[in-house]
Amino acid sequence: MNRKLTTEKKIEVRFGEVDSMRIVWHGNYIKYFEDGREDFGRKYNLGYLQAEEMGYLLPIVELKAEYKKPLKYGETAIVETNFIDSPSAKLIFEYVIYEEKTHDIICRGRSVQVFLNHSLQLQVSIPPVFREWKENWLH
C-alpha cells in the first residue's frame, strides 16, 4: 500500500498579490501551487535543483485551477500539496488552498510535470532515480 505524501505551506497574502478589489489576483494561485511544490520538494528530497543535478528537467505540461472563494489581503492561507502516484514518468500534484482561520476552501488545483533530459528529450520510461525515490517514499 502506498503512503500519502503531503505538505502544508502557510501563505500570508501580501498587498502586491491582490487586485483593486483587495482579493488575490487569479494568477497568484499558480504561484501558491509552486510554493507548495517547492515545500514538498524540500520535505521529500524531490527539488528542482536535485532533479537537474541528476540530469532531468521537470516542465509543467498540464495545469488546472478551480476558484471557489476569494482570498483577501491580510488573510492567511494554507496550501496543501498532495503527490499523486502514477505508473507513468510524470509528477502529478493536487492542491487545496484554504483559509487558515475558517478552513474555507479557496482554490483546488492540479499540475502534471514530465521528465526531460538536458537535450530536452521526453523521457517516456520512469527514470531510475525517480523509481528509487518512489520505492523509498511510497512503500
Q: Which residues are catalytic?
A: 19
To which residue does cell 509543467 refer?
A: 60
Buried-exposed string 81-96: b where 16+ CB fall within 10 A, e elsewhere: bbbeeeeebbbebbbb
Q: Quick check: 68 and 103 in contact, CB under 8 A?
A: no
Q: Could you tell me which residues are beta bridge partners of residue 110? A: 64, 94
Helices and strands: H and E segment counts in the chain: 3, 7
Q: Give, for 37, the enclosing helix (H) or strand (E).
A: helix 28-44
Q: Give, for 41, the enclosing helix (H) or strand (E).
A: helix 28-44
